[in-house]
Structure 1
């Protein structure tokens, strides 16, 4: 059954490519290694940042008009079963995933918490600190120079970048090993099709008659 639309797959893979670009170039700018050179790495880092900001504007608009933002509302229901599965169940091929994915609830409780942390904590810190760093020459006009130093902003931005790296590694790890078969999640995000549990409360479920809007 089609679960992830073309736009969802487009922004997922585009966001992944841009985030990887920003991490690779950002850590080089920070002096972790030398590959592209400081100037080129900084240039590509800025380009990727602006492209990602533009992408997120479209993504936020799409989530707002489609109602898909509800997919990320956190819940504690069933979270311990999912945690147990991720810690021990993924090692046993005979243990099924405890979460039953539906069209109205594509993400399990642990995924929702992870995406909430990504969207509410990690991303805002990265963007605010990154934009402050990028527009450092304009600090005098805004009155920021003095109370805040460039070193403070750089430290916060680097810490947020490491948090993003941890999220990224965890996301890739679970995508690669939590699915059964192991390529299930990757296949779903490439093709859009995945197995779903049909929620009896979903009026839009396949085979269900739409509600009568005339009476």
Structure 2
């Protein structure tokens, strides 16, 4: 068994800051929605809005990094061996079979991961951002002549939040499916992955 350096320091930092911000936005967003009372509406709104701007800033920086380093290629979807990946997650994982994909610096994500990350990046995140910004600047949009129903904006934003929550739950679960339950988490902390 050897070790392979998969995730750079920036990727790990970006991943964990993003995780903290997403969890914070989910917690405060559902409180703003009225699901429970933890911080109070005003404090939850303030934390949520601050987290949103930090998240957008992080993404702008991360997009620049991905484009300048060529790491954007990691998210190009492929169908190569997708049948083996799907079979592994549907059946093989429960039989203790080895994972059919071995991550490398050149290809960190298996085909299913790449497609999922691309979908989150191209569909879920813009859905949340556009509806959230429309929500935040609703009065300004109205003053500029745009008439959008606030209830529709809130519904779209909430649907996006549930999609992100579903992704987060799935992401955490799949993080436990390495050769040990903590192997993938350890790789995202240290950058090193065991080469099995």
Whether these two folds match at TM > 0.5 is yes
TM-score (ref. length: structure 1): 0.87
Preserved contact between residue 6 and residue 103 of structure 2 (Cα < 8 Å): no
Distance verdict in 2 for CA 1:75–1:172, change over 3 Å: same
- Supply the RMSD in Å over aligned alpha carbons: 1.2
- Is the Cα–Cα contact under 8 Å of residues 5 and 105 in structure 2 kept in the other structure? no
Match of 1:83 among 60, 83, 86: 86
Unaligned stretches of 5+ residues in structure 1: 198-215
Q: Does 1:71 align with 2:106?
A: no
Instruction: Determine the C-alpha separation between the residues in 1 that align with 2:105 and 2:14.
Output: 19
Q: Of the candidates 51, 55, 62, which is equivalent to residue 58 of structure 2?
A: 55
Does the CA-based 8 Å contact 1:74-1:109 persist in structure 2?
yes
Unaligned runs of 5+ in 2: none
Q: Secondary structure at the match of 2:100?
A: coil
More helix by share: 2
Specify which structure has the bigger relative contact order, considering alpha-carbon pairs within 8 angstroms and separated by 6 or more residues.
2
Aligned residues: 193
Post-superposition shift, 1:196? 4.7
Other-structure match for 1:142 = 144
Q: Under a length normalisation based on structure 2, what TM-score does the superposition of the two structures give?
A: 0.95
Work out the CA distance in 2 between the residues paired with 1:48 and 1:99: 35
Runs of 4+ more than 6 Å apart: none
Question: Does the residue aligned with 1:153 lie in a helix, a strand or coil?
Answer: helix
The structure in which a higher percent of residues are strand is 2
Q: Which moved more, 1:154-163 or 1:132-141?
A: 132-141
